[in-house]
Each structure stands twice: as structure tokens, then as C-alpha cells.
Amino acid sequence: MLRFSCAFLLGITASTAAFAHASLETTQAPTGSYYTAVIRITHGCNGSPTKKVMVKIPEGATSVRPQPKPGWNLHIIKTKLDQPYKDAHGREISERVSEVHWTDGKLLDEHYDEFRIRLKLPEAPPGTVTYFPTVQECEQGVHRWIEIPQPGQKASELREPAPAVTLTAKP
């Protein structure tokens, strides 16, 4: 029987818990840069397979393009912009992608998978944390990785923290 020291076990538990939730592969990126949000789904809901993954896109993110996945249907939800703008090609943009849904799939609890969205991050001061609230629906049960830490609170203190990326200064 393998024995672990309490601190080591605590260390393992803390780090694997954070890693074991829905989280982003890259958690720091320059403000306003092109970024691939890789949302990692590392387990189901109490053993039940994942059948739907819905991701909310942060305000200010543009050029949002999700990656299709074999065996899953892909839905892009758009919302009208209060203030339309012209993109880099001079085209008038009057709506933004506000959510991306992968549906009708099956990811077993014992398997791992990644859900990818390419986008341009918001322009915001370095240190700003940008969240991708994610709802993971299973055949039985659901995980709502949507909790945002209050000022002074750590994400690791939350039961279902939202995947997050911290914006850094432009290189």
C-alpha cells in the first residue's frame, strides 16, 4: 500500500483538483492578441459522459472561430452589438459571437478532450482576468464552471470556477 505524507497528499489534491476541472490550457496571453482558447474537459459528471459543452465568449473578444469536432454538432450564438464597428478589412460588424455550443457528442468520464476557439482577446489593462464561463452537460448531471472569484478570493476556493486567462502587456 503506497503511503503519501499529508502535505504531499494535500499538495496533490490541491493541484489535481484545479487541473481536474474545466480549465484553459494557456492561462496568460497579451491583451488584444490572437489566442486559442483550449478548454480542457477532464472528467464527466459523477461518472456520467459529457454530451454538451457550452462556452460564453468574453465581451470585447472578436474574430471568434470555434474548431469543429467530429461526432459533435457545432452552434455559434450571435448577439447584436450596441455599437457596430469596422473590422481590419473595413467590413461593418454589427453582431458578436457570444456563445459557442458543442452538442450531441459523447465524451466518457474516463476520457479527456479539448474544445478549441480561436479569437482576438479583448483590449484591456494588463492584469485583467478574462473568463470563459463553461457549462458541461452530461447524460446525467451538469457542471457549471461559471463561478468568478470575488476580490481577494482564489479560484481554487470555488467549487466550479470559470476557466480564466490573465491578460499581460503587449510584447
Site of interaction with Cu ion (CB under 5 A): 20-21
Nearer CB in complex with Cu ion: 21/52: 21
Nearer CB in complex with Cu ion: 8/112: 112
Nearer CB in complex with Cu ion: 13/28: 13
Q: How far is the CB of 37 from Cu ion (least distance, A)?
A: 18
* Chain centroid offset of residue 125 CA: 20
What is the number of other CB atoms lying within 10 angstroms of the CB of residue 13? 12
Nearer CB in complex with Cu ion: 23/31: 23
Q: How far is the CB of 155 from Cu ion (least distance, A)?
A: 12
Q: How far is the CB of 158 from Cu ion (least distance, A)?
A: 11
Return d(Cα 47, Cα 160) in angstroms, integer. Answer: 17
Distance in angstroms between the alpha carbons of the first and the last residue of the chain: 50
Q: Which of 72, 36, 42 is nearest to 54 (CA)?
A: 72
Q: How far is the CB of 43 from Cu ion (least distance, A)?
A: 6
Return d(Cα 2, Cα 99) in angstroms, integer. Answer: 45
Q: How far is the CB of 85 from Cu ion (least distance, A)?
A: 38
Is the CB of residue 61 less than 8 Å from the CB of residue 145?
no
What is the number of other CB atoms lying within 10 angstroms of the CB of residue 74? 15
- Residue the block writes with cell 483550449: 38
Nearer CB in complex with Cu ion: 72/145: 145
